[in-house]
Amino acid sequence: MKPYDERLTVPRTWWLLAALGVALFGVALAPLGAVPVLCGLAVGGAVAGVALSAYGSARIRVVADSLIAGQARIPLTALGEARALDADEARAWRSHRADARAHMLLRAYIPTAVRVEVVDPDDPTPYLYLSTRRPDRLTAALVASRPDVA
**H or E element in which residue 96 lies:** none
Domain extent listing, the chain: 4-55, 64-145
Cβ-contact 82, 142 below 8 angstroms: yes
pLDDT, one tens digit per residue, over 25-77 is 999 999 999 999 999 999 999 999 999 999 999 999 999 889 999 999 999 99
Tell me the C-alpha distance between 148 and 145, whole Å.
9
- For residue range 90-112, what is the model confidence (pLDDT) as tens digits? 999 999 999 999 999 999 999 99
Rounded to an integer, the average pLDDT of 123-133 is: 95
Q: How confident is the model at residue 150 (pLDDT cuts 50, 70, 90)?
A: very low
Claim: this prediction has a pTM higher than 0.75: yes
Closest CA to 62 of 116, 123, 126, 100: 116
Q: How far apart are CA 74 and CA 3, in angstroms?
A: 15
